[in-house]
Structure 1
Amino acid sequence: MRPLDGIRVLEMGQYIAAPYCAMMLADLGAEVIKIERPDGGDPRRIYDPLEQTETGSMSGGFLSYNRNKKSVTLDLSAESDRARYLALAATADVVVENLRPGAVDRMGVGYDALKEINPRLIYCAISGYGRLSTHRGEFAERPAFDTAIQAIGGLMAVTGEPGGPPLPTVTGFADVFTAVHATVSVLAALEGRHQSGTGTFVDQSMYDSVASLLERELMLWDFTGEHRVRGVDRYSPLGALEAEDGYVALILPTHEMWRRLCVAIERPDLLDHPLLDSVVHRAENFASVIRPEAERWTRSRTRREIVEHFAAHGLPAGETQTIDELYQCQHLDARRMFLEIDDPHAGRRRMIRTPFLTDTYDEPRTDSAPQLGEHNDELLTEVEPTTA
């Protein structure tokens, strides 16, 4: 049993944001039907790394965002397929889509059309800059991709080395972060429907999502009028210290945390250092003073030794893990954070799952992503017009 058993979701998504949102709902038990164009489907189907066999193919990038779904192909420019889509929408609880603003309305399958046939429908539209006409900004018609949103959303302004160029964070971050917000919004709307009996339109903007993540930087600007320098937080000294086998990262937001570090590295004399007498001064001088002094102690020890020693002194710190270490992490194994997916074309694959965990509900299914149109026969027969 899973919490969204019995919920039907139609996904008209491509690339990352809408597909990831719909996959989260699928992992929670929803039946997710991915609606794709017959001539190729979601563009991520052909992204590298791509495994091909005589009977089909599977892209790693497609598998990452489309596990546990069904695929139906419909040409929504054709009247007959529009009728099939509308019939499917009449049976759905949720629609998730991230097509270009206006695209679904021009095809006659947008929210206004669907709510007439299904007033209980929750329609989640993910876009770069928002869809609601009552909340329309000057960027509304812009196309959006992850890196552009990381830039305009302020994230790149605070990422990178001091004096260097702005840098994007993890590829797909804005998409996935928006998808998580969209999932929360859909779940809230489902709960609200229990009370109101009606559906709603969820307007999930990537720009809104990333801007909300910069709440600390915006608060600091409001209070101080200061821009954050890339790589430096003037009110929370932070950074990475070199170890024998890599790096350890930590943050020192309070004087007590600073005191604990000085004790842990056996340098109580640093408490009286004139350049380290406040949080602001410690932040400004982390790279030039704190790091070289602390690394006299850390460089001769392993990451694990340092982190465990710091923890014993009440200092939260973390090993800077490489991707292969993350892939093999025993703690994540104990948390069952990886799914073993057996795909007929890509073979057996180990995929990180969405992090929903309770002591009551079943964990996500381990179905692979569907082949294009794999479920046409299963799902379109229920909406085919009957003949006398």
Structure 2
Amino acid sequence: MRPFEGIRIIDITHVLAGPFAAYQLALLGADVIKVEPPGDPDQSRDSGPDPALNRANMGSYFLTQGSNKRAITLDLKRQAGQDVLKKLVAGADVLVENFRPGAFEALGLGWEALSAINPRLIYCSMSAFGQKGPRGVQTAYDHVIQATSGIMAATGTPEVNPIKFGAPAIDYATGTMGAFALSAALFQRERTGRGQRIDLAMLDVALMMQASHVTAFLASGKAAKPSGNKHPQATNSAYKTKDGMVMLGASNLRQQKRLWAALGRPEMAKATNEQRLAARDAEESLLDEIMLNRTADEWEEYLQSKHVPAARVRRMEEALADPHLASRGVVHRFEGGAPGVPQSFGVPVAAFTLAHGGPQVDSPPPMVGQHTDAVLSGLGYSADEIAALRAGKVV
């Protein structure tokens, strides 16, 4: 049995962060019902590098976090659509939404209104800046939050900055934090019997991603500065090799001692981190010279054998080809494709395993409104009533 079997989640989110939060719980057994407006599906459905998939509303950005979900269409701006949602809420455990703060309250679908229908409901609102505060009404995406939070200013080199991340890391960190918050609220409900309101902000998550930098600044007044591939310690930085780059991770004193011994220069090991900082330039100059003697793969293999963290700098396609990932089950592959997706593809699953009842993919990402009739029938709507809702463009 998986942790969230028997839990029903209404997923009224779009793009990446919100859908990823619901996806993580779906992998762990939750029954997730994705709600999209008819004629205006989640914008991630037409996002990705494959135009054909985008046109089919099965873009790769959607595929990433669409598995294990059922999909319905529902116009929440119409009273009939709101009535359907309220019926869903009556039997649900969680509702997740990531629209502009105040939008659901304006529709009469806010926390107070829906918790009156179901006092055990966990209502999660995910937004750029939170539901209140001076910026509460503002909107943003991952890259805008990177700009706002200081992450871009600390990324890049001293000469070239600010630079945004190459991946939408804040979106996925927000989704992961959302899954954590939902899990905490569900566990709390087991003890209290009460529902919960979760207010999750992308900006707050971005600050959590810089937690050590935040604390360092508040304690010393020194802000993080862009340093490229260099670290305060020379033994903890990237270097050119015969054929590429290798990232050294000799971070602590024991590791730097092992590194210098492995390189045949044990006299370079330092007794304190202050000594390492003082000798950084000299150490970097020596490592620049030594690292050119082997290929990046050779250095990785050799240094790892000496218990020194080190890795060749890889492209993503190389990382995905690593047999180690297959042993971890990090990616689920849909061989032969899925409805709406003619080609084979794979999606990330979860970043952990459990001894039993762990995360797994059971069903492919759904097409727009694929399960509308089945879900409405489960709520007690007759075939004629469903046909009338469809004729009225409510679904």
Determine if the TM-score, normalized by the shorter chain, exceeds 0.5.
Answer: yes
- Counterpart of 2:317 in structure 1 is 324
Question: How far 1:278 sits from its partner (Å)?
Answer: 1.9
Q: Which residue of 1 aligns with 2:91?
A: 91
Change (3 A) 1:294 1:14: same
Identify which of 136, 140, 144 aligns with 1:144.
140
Distance in 2 (alpha carbons) for counterparts of 1:364 and 1:225 = 45
Aligned to 2:379: 383
Structure 1 position 294 matched with structure 2 position 250:
no
1:256 deviates by: 3.5
| Contact preservation (8 Å) 2:240, 2:291 | yes
Unpaired runs of 5+ residues, structure 1, are: none
What residue is the counterpart of 2:189 in the other structure?
193
* Counterparts of 2:250 and 2:151, CA distance in 1: 22
Tell me the CA shift for residue 113 of structure 1: 1.0
Count of residue correspondences: 376
**Structure 1 residue runs of 4+, over 6 Å off?**
none
The residue aligned with 2:240 is 242
Aligned residue number for residue 328 of structure 2: 335
Match of 1:262 in 2: 260
In 2, Cα distance between equivalents of 1:8 and 1:257: 48
Q: CA RMSD in A?
A: 2.4
Structure 1 residues 341-369: Cα deviation after superposition (integer angstroms, max 9, x where no partner): 23133221122222231111154124221
Shift of 1:385: 5.5
Taking only the aligned residue pairs, the percentage that are identical comes to: 29
CA deviation after TM superposition for structure 1 residue 204, in Å: 0.9
Aligned AA (1:249): M
- Counterpart CA distance in 1 for 2:231 and 2:148 is 20
Aligned-partner residue type, residue 280 of structure 1 = L
TM-superposed CA distance for 1:26, in Å, is 0.7
The residue aligned with 1:72 is: 72
Structure (1/2) with the larger strand percentage: 1
Pick the aligned partner of 1:310 from 300, 303, 320: 303
Q: Quick one: which amino acid aligns to residue 375 of structure 2?
A: L
Question: Bigger shift: 378-387 or 261-270?
Answer: 378-387
Paired with 2:52 and 2:257, the residues of 1 have a C-alpha distance of 57
- Deviation, 1:215, is 1.5
Distance (whole Å) between structure 2 residues aligned to residue 52 and residue 254 of structure 1: 50
AA aligned opposite 1:138: P
Answering whether residue 165 of structure 2 is matched by residue 169 of structure 1, we say yes
Alignment TM-score, normalising by the size of structure 1: 0.90
Contact 1:129/1:139 (8 A) holds in 2: yes
Distance 2:236 2:42 in 1: 41
The letter of the residue matching 1:98 is N
Which of 236-245 and 333-342 deviates more? 236-245
- Compared with structure 1, are the counterparts of its residues 113 and 244 closer, same or farther at alpha carbon in structure 2 (3 Å cutoff)? same
Find the counterpart in structure 1 of residue 124 from structure 2: 124
Establish whether residue 17 from structure 1 lines up as the match of residue 12 from structure 2. Answer: no
Do residues 280 (structure 1) and 277 (structure 2) align? Answer: yes
- Contact 2:129–2:138, Cα closer than 8 Å, also in 1: yes
Give the deviation of 1:112 after TM superposition.
1.1
Amino acid at match of 2:339: P
Alpha-carbon deviation of 1:252?
4.0
Question: Shift of residue 233 of structure 1?
Answer: 4.6
Q: Which amino acid aligns with 1:278?
A: Q
Give the Cα separation in 2 of the matches to 1:293 and 1:181: 42
The CA distance in 2 between the partners of 1:127 and 1:277, in whole Å, is 42
Partners of 2:231 and 2:237 within 8 A in 1:
no
Go from structure 1 to structure 2 and tell me whether the alpha carbon gap of 1:314 and 1:171 turns closer, same or farther (over 3 Å shift).
closer
Higher mean C-alpha displacement, 220-229 vs 72-81: 220-229
Aligned counterpart, 2:40: 40
- Equivalence for 1:358: 354
Residues 3-50 of structure 1: CA deviation (Å, up to 9, x unaligned): 211110000001011001011111111111001010131011112334
Query: Whole-Å Cα distance in 2 between the matches of residues 282 and 344 of structure 1?
Result: 60
| Partners of 1:255 and 1:279 within 8 A in 2 | no
Deviation at 1:339, TM superposition (A): 0.4
Which stretch shows the higher mean deviation, 312-321 or 112-121?
312-321
SS of 2:213 mapped into structure 1: helix
Deviation at 1:161, TM superposition (A): 0.8
What amino acid does structure 2 have at the position aligned with 1:352? P
Separation of aligned partners in 1, 2:148 and 2:52: 38
TM-score (norm 2): 0.88
- Pair 1:226-2:222 in alignment: yes
Please state how far the C-alpha of 1:107 moved relative to its aligned partner. 1.0
Amino acid at match of 2:258: R
- How many Å separate the matches in 1 of 2:22 and 2:144? 23
1: CA distance between counterparts of 2:304 and 2:320? Answer: 24
